[in-house]
Amino acid sequence: MPRATYGPTSKARVCRLLEALLAFVNYELEGCEHLEKSIIYRWESENSTSPKLIIETQLRFLVELTDKDNHPGKLSKEQIRQALNLMKDFLKILADNRVKKRGSEDWNFTLTLWSKDKTKNLERFDQEWESKRPEKSKQLEAGYQQAQPTNSNKIPPTIGKPVFMANRTQELRLLEQMVQQQHPKILLIKAPPGFGRRKLWKKFVEKYSSVTDVHCIPISLQVASRKGRRHLLESVSRQLGSQYFLNLETKEKNYWQKQEEFLKHMPEQIDLEDDRENPFRKYLSRLWTEVTQAFFTDLQQLNQQVVIFLDEFESATSELQDWIRGDFILDAIATPRLAVIIAGDSIPQATIEWDDYSENLCLQEIWDVEAWYQYCQERGWQHLSREEVEEVVNAAQGHPANVAKSLKLLAENR
């Protein structure tokens, strides 16, 4: 068995598996209905402070689960096996219920969690991992970071899993134009579910993942709504390297210190969530503007090409949407080598301040039979004829996800 490591790579894999499992049991992942018979789970003591999630499955189904999550690529069987063992031996949150353990594909285990809520669990996971991490591991990581003048792209390339997509040539060209020509600075992508906005992003990442000075950073605004605006800024700083965001760190500490003081000493005079006219809230708003400015100052000094993909705009709170439409975008368009993509079922209305720096993109149905036929050729489904492809496209009325699903089903049953 390889020696266990506790650095950022191992941590990211364990976190990804835990996140995928929690998303699966909360019905947050698309296209996983067929796994419900292969990943069997139940809760125990679910209303307690230490709910237990009991899971029976096989490694191959966990591999498939990570193939359905919101991260590029997927974990291998060995990576999942190592992640499960780290949950057991390092974090001490997994109990192995198997009788035969060595070399088995079957896994029957109990996860003792901190909450049923996915976000709370991931936050506690991060805290527990860092608190248990050996000092030597932290020193090795610090030494490695000091030796690197710039960080390589943290998004793992989709090696072995190419992104297949029909027709979206012009849309992809527009994304590439953002990097090559620095225009538009802001791209607004409106697309109903199943129309491929994430697929378009992944295709873009696939092309640029090997370019060392281009950093592609996806962020879920649904998650940011639960964690707060800091999640957006910290997601970027973590992927690029927190050591480059010292101004942000200083301003954030000041902001949270002031907020804690207000909540502690003046709980009746301030409502941080509702009363926007409250003078204390206005003061905190000014402090948060300083946090935002510090983030973009650090980003400019880093001088790397960064593309931020903000997905699920419709799921953002009104406060988060207002901040993105205002301070965030205005500072973004003033930052060289930064492009921002905002996508969702709905998108923000451009204001007069940044309308000239933005473009709208509305993803439509794909009726191009030739494009779908070429898609089948790339997928290795050469046995499907143009006539069969055309029949599927018409039956699915050009809906990209439905066409792709029907073609896959047809190819597998031929």
pLDDT surpassing 50 at residue 151: no
pLDDT at 93 over 70: yes
- In angstroms, the CA 24 to CA 251 distance is 37
Ranges 89-103, 217-231, 354-368, most confident = 354-368
Of residues 140 and 199, more confidently modeled? 199
What are the tokens at 258?
């002031």
Q: Which CA distances in Å does 250 have to 82, 239, 247, 281, 286?
A: 37, 18, 5, 20, 15
pLDDT at 293 over 90: yes
| Predicted local confidence at residue 39, as pLDDT | 94
Residue 319, both tokens: 């406060």
Residues 304-321 have pLDDT tens digits of 899 999 999 999 999 899
Cβ–Cβ < 8 Å for 231, 312: no
Q: Which pLDDT band, with edges at 50, 70 and 90, does 100 fall under?
A: confident
Q: Looking at residue 273, what is its pLDDT?
A: 46
Q: What digits encode the pLDDT tens for the residues 320-332?
A: 999 999 999 999 9
- Contacts of residue 349, defined as CB under 8 A and 6 or more positions apart, other chains included, come to 325
* CA-closest candidate to residue 205, choices 296, 299, 311: 311
Please state, in angstroms and rounded to a whole number, the distance separating the CA atoms of residues 228 and 226. Answer: 6
User: What pLDDT was estimated at residue 271?
Assistant: 47
- Listing DSSP states for 216-279 in one string gives EEEEEHHHHHHH-THHHHHHHHHHH-GGG-HHHHHHHHHHHHHHHHHHHH-TTT--TTT-TT-H
User: Taking a C-beta distance cutoff of 8 angstroms, is the pair 79, 72 a contact?
Assistant: no
Q: Which tens digit of pLDDT belongs to each residue from 3-49?
A: 457 778 888 899 999 999 998 998 888 778 889 889 999 999 888 88
pLDDT top residue among 9 and 249: 249
| Residue 190 · residue 361 · CB < 8 Å | yes
Share of the chain above pLDDT 70, in %: 87
The CATH code for residues 184-362 is 3.40.50
Neighbours of 153 (CB within 10 A): 20
Q: Is the pLDDT of residue 149 over 60?
A: no
Which pLDDT does position 263 carry in this prediction?
64
89 and 41 Cβ atoms separated by less than 8 Å:
no
Average pLDDT over residues 106-115: 94
pLDDT (0 to 100) of residue 277:
64
**DSSP code, position 147:** H
- Mean predicted lDDT score pLDDT of the chain: 85
Q: Are 167 and 366 in contact (CB under 8 A)?
A: yes
Under DSSP, the state recorded for 156 is: P
Q: Are 187 and 342 in contact (CB under 8 A)?
A: yes
Residues in the chain: 414
Confidence grade of residue 163 (pLDDT, cut at 50, 70, 90): confident
In this prediction, residue 132 has a pLDDT band, given cuts at 50, 70 and 90, of: confident
> In terms of pLDDT, which residue wins out, 273 or 104?
104
Question: How far from 329 is each of 54, 194, 351, CA to CA, in Å?
Answer: 44, 27, 10
Report domain extents, the chain. 8-142, 184-362, 369-412
Is residue 251 within 8 A of residue 290, CB to CB? The reply is yes
Share of the chain above pLDDT 90, in %: 51
Q: How confident is the model at residue 81 (pLDDT cuts 50, 70, 90)?
A: very high
DSSP-based three-state secondary structure for 63:
helix
Q: Give the whole-angstrom CA distance, residue 357 versus residue 114.
A: 44
What are φ and ψ of residue 374, in 5° steps? -65, -35
Contact 137, 199 (CB under 8 A): no
Query: Mean pLDDT, to the nearest integer, of 58-82?
Result: 88
Residue 352 pLDDT greater than 90, yes or no: yes
Neighbouring C-beta atoms of residue 219, cutoff 10 Å: 18
Once rounded to an integer, what is the mean pLDDT over residues 171-197? 91
